[in-house]
A and B are shown apart, each in its own frame.
Chain A
Amino acid sequence: EDQVTQSPEALRLQEGESSSLNCSYTVSGLRGLFWYRQDPGKGPEFLFTLYSAGEEKEKERLKATLTKKESFLHITAPKPEDSATYLCAVHGGSNYKLTFGKGTLLTVNP
């Protein structure tokens, strides 16, 4: 059974204070690891897909990296508008179902 564990559950940063969110996973045959952003009252918004260890992707202040056991979402010089819940999910197997972690609630104070 695929499993995803995200840490920390909540993270509070000052504006400009860089940090990283962790996503540890176990999956039989990783087909993709996904990062999403979710704002209160909204559906998750797709950020990145990573397919193989060593892969990195960037978007504005966010960079996602992948190893064989975990993924990191690095946030550089965050702004208050980066405040959201960040979800990690994995796709393993052949039927394209995603297994989600419980998320990290990020709060960036001005």
Chain B
Amino acid sequence: IAGITQAPTSQILAAGRRMTLRCTQDMRHNAMYWYRQDLGLGLRLIHYSNTAGTTGKGEVPDGYSVSRANTDDFPLTLASAVPSQTSVYFCASRGADRNNYGYTFGSGTRLTVV
């Protein structure tokens, strides 16, 4: 089934540890995105990539890094986790079809930093 796969589904992480959230899509979409969703704040863009080999900063990039070595994968790394990074993280990709221009989202990774 075409879509986005995120892993892990959930994780409890000690503060100061490094963590990579995985995201893979099989729709050959060029653009991919990482959002975090927090109660009362909604979805906020962390980083994005318009095509393989390029990345850009979103609204809340501090403490996060991304890479886009190929079209399918877009991992998000927390170099040294802090409790304020406790959140639900969503990966998304965008198709180019004007009739279905919306993003496709993964099921999310629930991260708790303690």
User: Hey, which bits of chain A sit against chain B, CB under 8 A?
Assistant: 32, 34, 36, 41-49, 87, 89, 95-98, 100-103
Q: Is B75 an interface residue (CB 8 A)?
A: no
Who on chain B is nearest to A91 by CB?
A: B101
A96 and B93 CA atoms in complex are apart in Å by 11
Which residues on B sit within 8 Å (CB–CB) of A95? 48, 50, 56
* B42 CB contact (under 8 Å) in A42, A49, A103: A103
Q: Are A98 and B103 in contact (CB under 8 A)?
A: yes
Closest CB-CB distance, B45 to chain A, in whole Å? 6
Q: Which of B29-71 contact A (CB under 8 A)?
A: 31, 33, 35, 40-45, 48, 50, 56, 58
Q: Does B16 touch A at the CB level, under 8 Å?
A: no
Chain B residues with CB under 8 Å of A49's CB are 100-102
Do B42 and A43 touch (CB < 8 A)?
Answer: no
| Smallest CB separation, B104 vs chain A (Å) | 7
Please tell me if B105 contacts chain A, counting CB pairs below 8 Å.
yes
On whether the beta carbons of B103 and A42 are closer than 8 Å, the reply is no
A98 to B35, CA, bound (A): 10
Selected from B33, B105, B108, the residue in CB contact (under 8 A) with A97 is B33
Instruction: Indicate the size class of the contact surface on chain B.
Output: 20 to 34
* Contacting residues, chain A, for B48 (C-beta < 8 A): 95, 97
Quick check: is B90 within 8 A (CB to CB) of the other chain?
A: yes
Smallest Cβ-Cβ distance to B110: which chain A residue? A41
Cα(A96)–Cα(B92), bound, Å:
12
Q: Would you give 19 A-B contacts (Cβ < 8 Å), ordered by A? A: A34-B102, A36-B102, A41-B107, A42-B108, A43-B106, A44-B43, A44-B90, A44-B105, A45-B105, A46-B102, A47-B102, A95-B56, A96-B50, A96-B94, A100-B35, A100-B43, A101-B42, A102-B41, A102-B42
| Chain A residue, CB-CB nearest to B90 | A43
Nearest 10 Cβ contacts at the A-B interface: A43-B105, A46-B102, A102-B42, A100-B43, A49-B101, A44-B105, A100-B42, A34-B102, A43-B107, A43-B90
Other-chain contact of A46, B58, B103, B107 (Cβ < 8 Å): B103
Contacts of A87 in B (CB 8 A): 42-43
